[in-house]
Amino acid sequence: MKKKSVSQAIGFGLLRFCIIVVLMILVVILYDIFSKGKEAVSWEFLSAMPRNGMTEGGILPAIVGTFLVTVITAILAIPLGMGCAIYLNEYASHGKITRLIRMSIRNLSGVPSIVYGLFGVVLFVQLMKLDTSILASGLTLGLMTLPWTITASEEALKGVPRAYREGSLALGATKWQAIRTNVLPYAIPGMLTGAILGLARAAGETAPILFTGAAFSLPFLPKSLSDQFMALPYHLYIMATQHHAIEKVRPIAYGTALVLIALIFCMNFFAVVLRYKLRKVKVE
């Protein structure tokens, strides 16, 4: 009896230790970035162009660039991802081929982002002649996000009880009617949440945009989608490793990191709120 309770205490202790370690790491990183970055962040920092070889001024072009790229990513990844998920989950027969496709998608989500970057160069920049641009980068990120959105959307569809489909079919609905009226409305919150989390991840990626459109420094805003652009993660990468006066621009690097983290946090938060709101509507 006693032995048992001792081993239980040890087990719990270990688990508790794991969670503490993880939380500590997170807290340390956040604290470090926040304490060092808060000095740099000001209204000017958010709204001005970089000046003086990026040693002064703000990061507005990077914010705008990241925003535009993310929008392109969303436009590609969300509808396509949902469509694929609906097909895979509702229409495809449960054969070997479907299983293969599904496995491939899972594997794609594990492919390093730099590979997507190279692929984007070949397909969008060179083959489709989009040149290095917002569009090319957005599409590349879109491709990278697709496996993620497909998987998340499929999970959301799986979460809709079979009874809703069958109940609808039994009343004389066609398959599409059943899906449209009695499956999608309940799957969409989950699908959107998954998509937004995917976008948040894409917004923080550097490698895929490295070759497809992100510019080292552009002291003006992009005029069209075929322009090059600055992006927060790439800007951070440059400021932290490539700049000629690394020590001098360190506060700017921290400020950029803080803005990027805040942006991603906001997107995740929005996803959670959206899920909560839509779920509430569903239940009522």
- Binding residues for another protein, per CB under 8 A? 93-95, 161, 163-174, 177, 181-182, 186, 282-284
The sign of the dihedral angle between the CA atoms of 148, 151, 157, 160 is negative
Nearer to another protein, 136 or 178 (CB): 178
Q: At closest approach, how far in Å is the CB of 79 from another protein? A: 24
| Whole-angstrom distance, CA of residue 91 vs CA of residue 42 | 52
| Whole-angstrom distance, CA of residue 250 vs CA of residue 239 | 7
Q: At closest approach, how far in Å is the CB of 102 from another protein? A: 15
| Strand partners of residue 50 | 57
Q: At closest approach, how far in Å is the CB of 63 from another protein? A: 40
> Hey, what are 275's tokens?
């899920």
Tell me which amino acid residue 24 is: M
Looking at residue 171, the DSSP 8-state letter turns out to be T
Nearer to another protein, 114 or 278 (CB): 278
Residue 95: its H or E element:
none
Nearer to another protein, 247 or 284 (CB): 284
Nearer to another protein, 106 or 280 (CB): 280
Give the 3-state secondary structure of residue 214.
strand
Q: At closest approach, how far in Å is the CB of 168 from another protein? A: 7
Q: At closest approach, how far in Å is the CB of 91 from another protein? A: 11
The sign of the dihedral angle between the CA atoms of 260, 264, 270, 276 is negative
Nearer to another protein, 60 or 179 (CB): 179
Q: At closest approach, how far in Å is the CB of 104 from another protein? A: 21
Residue 231 main-chain phi, psi, to 5 deg? -135, 150
Nearer to another protein, 89 or 132 (CB): 89
Residue 207 main-chain phi, psi, to 5 deg? -55, -45
Which pairs count as long-range contacts for 89-96, CB under 8 Å and 24+ apart, including other chains? Answer: 89/154, 89/157, 89/158, 90/157, 90/175, 90/179, 90/183, 91/175
Q: At closest approach, how far in Å is the CB of 284 from another protein? A: 6
Nearer to another protein, 122 or 163 (CB): 163
